[in-house]
Amino acid sequence: MDLDSLPPVGLSSLAVAGAQRLRHQDPVLHDLLEREQRRQSDTLAMIASASWSDPSVLACEGSASGNITTEGYPGRRYHAGCEVVDEIERLAIDRAKAAFGARYANVQPHSGSTANQLVMTALLNPGDLVMGLELAAGGHLTHGSAVSFSGRYFRSVSYGVDEQGLLDYAQIERLAVEHRPKLIICGASAYPREIDFARFREIADHVGAFLLADISHIAGLVAAGVHPSPVDHAHVTTTSTYKQLYGPRGGLVLVGRDADLRVHGRPLTAVLQNAVFPYFQGTPRINGIAAKARAFDQLNTPEFRLLATRILGTARTLAAELAARGWPIVTGGTDNHMVLADVGARGLTGAIAEQALESCGIIVNRNKIHNDGRPARIAGGIRFGTNILALRGMDDAAIAECAAIVDQVWTSLTPLDDTDFLLPDQVRQSARAAVATLCWRFPLPA
């Protein structure tokens, strides 16, 4: 077949021609991509920071809009030929604002980390003090960790969680009063409970700090209205778009009621615009922005609200089912999509618990939990998330089956050291079969 004779017009024909050409001209890469797609549908992913993009989102990502090189913002570009992509970016901005009730949105950040970086730079001077949740207690690298820019170009103090693993707002306030940070960051990568954004703003106002809410993990619950929104509490809100927004890899910056605020004598929103471009980024990924626009549009649907409700329900069921089988759950349960199991308390390490499940087709990640002395590579916890199980449409009975498989695998293994273990072959075989059946009964949406 002469592939080049295929009409190179239209979104679909370009995608089909591209996939066919890849198969013929680069079978190695084609097969790897095919294998990865199959792996995703044939395993149960319970990675809390992952989701699964609708094919319409992937179609935007793979579109020719990504060929456009430009800089700047709609109506104020540094290249000609942008009349269409300007409309794409405006659509993404309008949909982001509508989905989160925001007054300002910047859809250009290449990632959530970049979004945090540019907000911190917009609001602070080098060496200013930031205060965020400690990495080991569930915070993110960009919230002041010494191994990230956020702890190197800024000074940082951390707040932790209490014995139960809960945020202690009185302690946070005491630390803020003592250290007088210029910026307080709230939001987490491993915190299964509701975050009181209003309380955080009170604390920030009390010490004259800016408040950044990073909702990378819970943005979908926030958009659906099943977790309180920080958008009108924080000065600035950031999120990744590939986690609970089921969108492309990328970041988003939002401002709510503080949109008219001035910082360093300039409007906050203008400072943020400049912090994205020209300060940190060059050309925007227009195909990524189109994919964000598609994902944001889906947030305003009754179907998404149902999905968000299911995410919460499945997480609560998973936490209860694991707890009923004797696995200690950090904070005793969950208010979001995350469940943190303290496997160290039962003689396992996170590394072993993760690898044993992976060998059975259940994909999770090891995670440090508070009071966890082990290094992050080993860790004492496992972080589960239900974004993808909920998208598969799993009901409580199916989640109970997942918990039973996890329990069976974890109780059957023999640790050899921190990372090595033995798992009887017949346990592995029966777990794999059960996973395969669940994947077949609850397929990813086509």
Return the residue of 108, 121, 142, 148 that touches ligand PLP, per CB under 6 A. Answer: 142
- Contact region with ligand PLP (CB under 6 A), list: 64-72, 110-118, 386-394, 396-404: 110-118
Sign of CA dihedral 107, 225, 298, 401: positive
By the rule CB under 6 A, 214 interacts with ligand PLP: yes
Dihedral pair phi/psi, residue 254, rounded to 5° = -130, 145
Pairing of strands 104-106, 76-77: unpaired
Residue 216 contacts ligand PLP per CB under 6 A? yes
Residue ranges for the binding site for (6S)-5,6,7,8-tetrahydrofolate?
135, 139-141
Nearer to ligand PLP, 166 or 436 (CB): 166
Nearer to ligand PLP, 197 or 327 (CB): 197
Give 247 or 361: the residue with its C-beta nearer to ligand PLP.
247
| 189 interacts with ligand PLP by CB under 6 A | yes
Binding mask of the shown chain, residues 146 to 185, with x at each position contacting ligand PLP by CB under 6 A: ----------------------------------------
d(CA 352, CA 335): 27
In 163-282, the DSSP E strands lie at 183-186, 210-214, 236-240, 251-255, 262-263, 266-267
**383 touches ligand PLP by CB under 6 A:** no
Among 140, 201, 235, 370, binds ligand PLP (CB under 6 A): 140
Residue selected from 217, 285, 294, 337 as contacting ligand PLP according to rule CB under 6 A? 217
Contact 248, 295 (CB under 8 A): yes
> Under the criterion CB under 6 A, does residue 244 sit at the interface with ligand PLP?
no
Long-range contacts of 257-261 (CB under 8 A, 24+ apart): 257/103, 257/232, 259/103, 259/104, 261/235
Give the x-and-dash track for 20-59 against ligand PLP (CB under 6 A). Answer: -----------------------------x----------
Closest residue to bound ligand PLP by CB:
112
Say how far apart CA 399 and CA 395 lie, in whole Å.
6
Paired with 329 in beta bridges are 341
Nearer to ligand PLP, 95 or 140 (CB): 140
Residue 111 near ligand PLP by CB under 6 A: yes
Please return the burial class of 264, using the count of CB atoms within 10 Å of its CB with bins 0-12, 13-18 and 19+. Answer: exposed
Which of 132, 248, 251, 344: binder of ligand PLP (CB under 6 A)? 251
DSSP states of 291-337: HHHHHHHHHTSHHHHHHHHHHHHHHHHHHHHHHHTT--BGGGS-SSS
Contacting residues toward ligand PLP, per CB under 6 A = 49, 111-113, 116, 140, 142, 187-189, 214, 216-217, 240, 251
